[in-house]
């Protein structure tokens, strides 16, 4: 039997054009930029889906087996996003979790009005186990004057200035979730036609969590407020819906996506595990700010325990931050626990 049709069939491109048409003077340039990005994402999705086949195909001497198939997937993702975005004329620069320095637009190509930040492959430790991974992206309007090459000031902006952010999750199906500050929408890739089709219109985060996600193996390195908060979420109290269930994949995108749909709070606190990373593991530009933008647009919140993530002024391309992200009430409670413990 054919799959029933949704009442409205909307492609990602159509949705983006409709979103943009709400802004006066919209030229369609923004949509065109995002569609360039989507080409890279489809290539990554295809590659992720056959990741486990690389050696099998290689042994068979299949003609598709080139170097790229054995290239590490995060390098592959980095390369495809860069190559899809370097020549479109929309960007003045890029910054990636995988690159130490700002990524310039090659001098032979025109530069544009936007700056792109991305985590090409998030959750890469999960690749070999066939567990969901993702790509995170965020876009700022350039800050530096003129049309020339961009500078670090274009990417080192507070998350509050973002004009777009989202993520792609490579799971049982590939989904793209994004926001241009007018709510959050989710699209599922139909691989047979190569189109992202609207599957989750106006996503709202449930008002209260029933799940918590944290790597509790690190508890010994956490502060008192973090420990007490998680302990509280586990303490039974029927009226408050406790205990929460634990769900932790170890892929931020996948943990966040599940929590967004089902109602969950994700915590990656500051810890004393690695003296080189006192602010925890997650990066402001490529992980915390983009997801905070999506969370807020879906009615949720994100905090470092003291400040709203979107108010953080990054000082370096690879700054890290503690991250508590989820429903407003759960994030506010986290801040209260940290205040009471005198942490931070
Ligand atoms: P990445 O694969 O981009 O380096 O990010 C991994 C991150 C994130 O996806 C996840 O939430 C976190 O690492 C898990 O860290 P732990 O293994 O310390 O729990
Ligand atoms: Mn990551
Ligand atoms: Mn990564």
279 near 323, Cβ under 8 Å? Answer: no
pLDDT higher than 70, residue 213:
yes
The 10 Å CB-count burial string (b at 16+, else e) for 16-51 is: bbebbeeeeeeeeebbbbbbbbbebbbbbbebbeee
Per-residue pLDDT at 1? 56
Domain boundaries, the chain: 12-200, 211-341
How far is residue 183's CA from residue 73's CA, in Å, rounded to a whole number?
Answer: 31
Q: What average pLDDT is seen over the chain?
A: 92
Distance 43 CA to ligand 3 centre (A): 17
Per-residue pLDDT at 64? 41
Q: Is 264 in the pocket of ligand 1 (CB under 6 A)?
A: no
Among 3.40.50.1370, 3.30.540.10, 3.40.50.300, 3.40.50.720, name the CATH number for the domain at 12-200: 3.30.540.10
For the entire predicted model, the pTM comes to 0.94
pLDDT higher than 70, residue 3:
no
pLDDT higher than 80, residue 62:
no
Ligand 1 atom with minimal separation from the 253 CA: 9
Q: Is 119 in the pocket of ligand 1 (CB under 6 A)?
A: yes
Distance 98 CA to ligand 2 centre (A): 10
User: What average pLDDT does the segment 326-333 reach?
Assistant: 98
Ligand closest to Cα of 281 equals: 1
Q: Is 122 in the pocket of ligand 1 (CB under 6 A)?
A: yes
177 near 185, Cβ under 8 Å? Answer: yes
pLDDT tens string 271-305: 999 988 999 999 999 999 999 999 999 999 999 99
Protein residues with C-beta less than 5 angstroms from the ion ligand 3: 97, 119, 121-122
How far is residue 74's CA from residue 65's CA, in Å, rounded to a whole number?
Answer: 18
Q: Whose CA is nearest to atom 8 of ligand 1?
A: 252
In 3D space, the residue among 330, 311, 329 whose CA is nearest the CA of residue 321 turns out to be: 311
250, 266, 276, best to mutate for ligand 1 pocket (most atoms within 8 Å of CB): 250
Ligand closest to Cα of 248 equals: 1
Distance 74 CA to ligand 1 centre (A): 13
pLDDT tens string 132-186: 999 999 999 999 999 899 999 999 999 999 999 999 999 999 999 999 999 999 9
Instruction: Specify the higher pLDDT residue, 19 or 189.
Output: 189
Per-residue pLDDT at 24? 75
Distance 115 CA to ligand 1 centre (A): 24
* pLDDT-above-90 percentage for the chain: 82
Among 3.30.2130.10, 3.30.470.20, 3.40.190.80, 3.40.50.800, name the CATH number for the domain at 211-341: 3.40.190.80
Q: Is 251 in the pocket of ligand 1 (CB under 6 A)?
A: yes
209 near 324, Cβ under 8 Å? Answer: no
Q: Is 281 in the pocket of ligand 1 (CB under 6 A)?
A: yes
How far is residue 292's CA from residue 260's CA, in Å, rounded to a whole number?
Answer: 11
Distance 249 CA to ligand 3 centre (A): 15
């Amino acid at each position: 039997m054919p799959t029933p049709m949704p009442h409205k069939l909307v492609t990602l491109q159509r949705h983006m054009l409709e979103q943009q048409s709400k802004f006066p003077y919209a030229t369609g340039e923004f949509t065109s930029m995002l569609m360039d990005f989507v080409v890279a994402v489809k290539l990554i999705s295809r590659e992720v889906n056959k990741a486990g086949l690389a050696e099998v195909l290689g042994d068979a001497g299949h003609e598709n087996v080139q170097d790229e198939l054995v290239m590490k997937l995060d390098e592959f993702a980095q390369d495809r996003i860069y190559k899809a975005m370097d020549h479109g004329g929309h960007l003045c620069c890029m910054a990636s979790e995988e690159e130490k320095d700002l990524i310039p637009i090659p001098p032979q190509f025109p530069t544009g009005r936007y700056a792109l930040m991305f985590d090409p492959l998030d959750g890469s430790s999960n690749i070999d186990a066939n567990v969901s991974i993702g790509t995170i992206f965020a876009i700022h309007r350039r800050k530096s004057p003129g049309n020339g090459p961009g500078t670090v000031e274009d990417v080192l902006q507070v998350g509050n200035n973002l004009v777009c952010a989202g993520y792609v999750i490579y799971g049982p199906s590939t989904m793209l979730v994004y926001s241009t500050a007018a709510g959050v929408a989710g699209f599922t890739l139909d691989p047979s036609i190569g189109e992202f089709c609207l599957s989750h219109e106006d996503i709202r985060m449930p008002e209260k969590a029933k799940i918590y996600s944290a790597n509790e193996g690190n508890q010994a390195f956490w502060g008192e407020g973090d420990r007490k908060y998680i302990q509280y979420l586990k303490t039974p109290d029927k009226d408050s819906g406790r205990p929460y269930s634990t769900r932790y994949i170890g892929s931020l995108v996948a943990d966040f996506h599940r929590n967004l749909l089902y109602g969950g709070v994700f915590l990656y606190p500051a810890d004393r595990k690695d003296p080189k990373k006192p602010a925890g593991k997650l990066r402001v530009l490529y992980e915390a700010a983009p997801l905070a933008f999506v969370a807020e647009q879906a009615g949720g919140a994100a905090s470092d325990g003291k400040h709203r993530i979107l108010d953080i002024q990054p000082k370096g391309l690879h700054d890290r931050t503690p991250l508590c992200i989820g429903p407003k009430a759960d994030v506010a409670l986290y801040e209260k626990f940290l205040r009471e413990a005198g942490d931070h």
